[in-house]
């Protein structure tokens, strides 16, 4: 074999060996891209605390950290990631808190960073919203009866539900799902009215003899399987105020109490919709009044009737006082009341002899969704009526809605039962 042939054989052998070596040792794998495709849920209202968000995508590893940034910036915009838990290579669980002043004008990107420092980002995957209003109230003045208002639990984002419609309104109350308000008005004649919280769908449910009727929506089904509106209305034939019930569509109107002499005022529903508490005068004209609880059932025709009555104030130290403004707690058998002279006391139906006094000046109470706080009206440091919040143990008093002017003051606050931002389950 000549030299040229030997060289060709050597070259061929070298190429073959190189090919075999390359096949046995493939090049290093390219690292998988980190992709962030979505966040579930993809929005939360300002003030949300400890919300778990599923961050979906691919390429995630243990120790990965999620971050929220206003789109196109490195500004967290008021969204704090409290923790990130690894679920799988395609899912993380991020626990976030949204500040009460978090950015609402722009969307948020969600970024995931691995322990190696590599990152991936999903663009415009999350939105911070203005929270649904938590409290409705009336703003009254000398020039009009009352303007129906809503605001957040901290008093922010005050707005009129029916702007410019300055008609007489009275004691607004939330629907069970928080989408509508019921109130008394003389807008198109005295009656019970409902309106969407966005100001749409205003209509009269049923006519009444007066507008100051204390209408309240049942939080759950009444014994006849209907959501009811209870209200106090003047009955000319009996010459007193009785409690009435009506369905949302205006049917099923019934005089519940049918008394002669003592009048019933300020109805408030138990959480399960089977009882109503109300202020009831002992005599024909007062001034002494008790808070009675009316137990509801059905007669042989299927109509809701009173089957039993409990006097909640007679057994205890409130006996002989003029007790008014009852407000049943949202989740428990406790009723906030206002004895004569003002102040808020709590009656525990399991311990009627020992009501607890919270303060000495408050009136018109309403409980928060979890019963941890009470919103109410009282005079502020300037001796003007404002809306305040107090913890259920009597601590933490603070004003959330001072009067807007010398002639306009807030009153009759009602805290919605449904709390979307704190994940309390809403009724259907």
The residue whose two tokens read 């919040």 is 389
**Residues 126, 81: contact at Cβ < 8 Å?**
no
Residue spans of beta strands (DSSP E) within 50-107: 51-58, 65-70, 79-88, 91-98
Give CATH for domain 135-422.
Answer: 2.120.10.30
Burial class (CB in 10 A: 0-12, 13-18, 19+), 243: buried
**HEC-encoded secondary structure of 170-200:** EEEEECCCCCEEEEEECECECEEEEEECCCC
Residue 266: both structure tokens together: 């300020």
Report the side by side order of strands in the sheet with 373-379: 363-367, 373-379, 385-391, 398-401
DSSP state of 59: -
**Residues 354, 333: contact at Cβ < 8 Å?**
no
Return d(Cα 17, Cα 4) in angstroms, integer: 20
Return d(Cα 427, Cα 174) in angstroms, integer: 12
Residue 71 CA: distances (Å) to CA of 68, 107, 115, 172, 218: 9, 6, 23, 40, 44
Give CATH for domain 35-129.
Answer: 2.60.40.10
List own/partner pairs for 113-119 with CB under 8 A and 24 or more apart: 113/64, 113/65, 113/67, 114/34, 114/60, 114/61, 114/63, 114/64, 115/61, 115/62, 115/63, 115/64, 118/31, 118/34, 119/34
Per-residue pLDDT of the chain (428 residues; tens, 9 = 90+): 555 555 455 555 555 555 555 455 555 544 578 999 999 999 988 878 889 999 999 999 999 999 999 999 999 999 999 999 999 999 999 999 998 788 888 899 999 999 999 999 999 999 998 777 889 999 886 544 578 899 988 898 888 898 766 667 788 999 988 889 999 998 889 999 999 998 899 999 999 998 888 999 999 989 999 999 999 998 887 778 999 999 999 999 999 998 877 789 999 999 999 999 999 987 655 567 899 999 999 999 889 999 999 999 888 888 878 899 999 999 999 999 999 876 899 999 999 999 999 876 889 999 998 898 999 999 888 888 899 999 999 899 999 988 876 667 888 999 998 644 444 444 43
Q: Pairing relation of β-strands 344-348 and 351-359?
A: antiparallel
DSSP state of 368: -
Return d(Cα 138, Cα 144) in angstroms, integer: 11
Burial class (CB in 10 A: 0-12, 13-18, 19+), 105: exposed
Whole-prediction pTM: 0.73
Residue 173: both structure tokens together: 């109350």
Provide the pLDDT for residue 413: 95
With H, G, I as helix, E, B as strand and everything else as coil, classify residue 24.
Answer: helix
Give φ, ψ of 5 to 5 degrees: -65, -40
Radius of gyration of the chain (CA): 32
- Angle among Cα 30, 34, 36 to the nearest 5 degrees reads 160
Q: Compute the Cα dihedral for 55, 59, 61, 66 and give only its sign.
A: negative
**Residues 378, 385: contact at Cβ < 8 Å?**
yes
Provide the pLDDT for residue 328: 97
Domain boundaries, the chain: 35-129, 135-422
**Residues 39, 67: contact at Cβ < 8 Å?**
no
Provide the pLDDT for residue 29: 46
């Amino acid at each position: 074999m000549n030299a040229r042939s030997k060289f060709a054989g050597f070259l061929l052998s070298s190429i073959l060996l190189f090919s075999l070596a390359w096949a046995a040792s493939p090049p290093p794998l390219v690292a998988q891209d980190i992709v962030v495709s979505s966040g579930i849920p993809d929005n939360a209202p300002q003030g949300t605390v400890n919300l778990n968000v599923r961050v979906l995508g691919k390429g995630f590893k243990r120790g990965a950290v999620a971050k929220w940034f206003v789109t196109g910036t490195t500004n967290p915009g008021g969204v704090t990631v409290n923790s990130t838990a690894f679920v799988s290579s395609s899912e993380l669980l991020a626990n976030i808190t949204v500040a009460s002043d978090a950015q609402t004008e722009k969307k948020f990107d969600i970024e995931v960073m691995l322990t190696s420092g590599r990152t991936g980002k999903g663009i415009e995957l999350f939105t911070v919203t203005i929270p649904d209003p938590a409290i409705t109230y009336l703003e009254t003045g000398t020039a009009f009866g009352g303007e129906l208002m809503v605001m957040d639990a901290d008093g922010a984002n005050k707005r009129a539900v029916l702007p410019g419609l300055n008609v007489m309104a009275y004691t607004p109350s939330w629907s069970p799902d928080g989408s509508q308000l019921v109130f008394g008005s003389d807008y198109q004649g005295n009656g019970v009215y409902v309106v969407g919280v966005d100001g749409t769908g205003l209509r009269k449910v049923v006519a009444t003899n007066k507008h100051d009727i204390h209408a309240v929506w049942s939080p759950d089904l009444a014994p006849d399987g209907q959501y009811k509106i209870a209200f106090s209305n003047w009955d000319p034939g009996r010459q007193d105020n009785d409690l009435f019930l009506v369905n949302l569509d205006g049917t099923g109107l019934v005089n519940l109490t049918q008394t002669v002499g003592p009048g019933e005022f300020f109805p408030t529903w138990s959480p399960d919709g089977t009882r109503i508490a109300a202020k009831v005068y002992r005599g024909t004209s007062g001034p002494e009044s008790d808070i009675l609880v009316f137990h509801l059932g059905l007669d042989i025709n299927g109509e809701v009737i009173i089957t039993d009555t409990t006097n909640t104030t007679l057994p205890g130290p409130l006996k002989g006082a003029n007790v008014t403004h009852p407000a049943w707690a949202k989740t428990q058998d406790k009723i906030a009341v206002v004895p004569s002279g003002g102040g808020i006391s709590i009656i525990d139906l399991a311990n009627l002899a020992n009501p607890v006094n919270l303060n000495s000046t408050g009136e018109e109470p309403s409980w928060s969704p979890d019963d941890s706080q009470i919103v109410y009206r009282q005079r502020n440091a300037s001796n003007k009526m404002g809306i305040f919040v107090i913890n259920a143990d009597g601590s933490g008093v603070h004003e959330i809605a001072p009067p807007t002017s010398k002639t306009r003051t807030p009153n009759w606050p009602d805290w919605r039962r449904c709390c979307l931002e704190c994940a309390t389950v809403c009724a259907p």
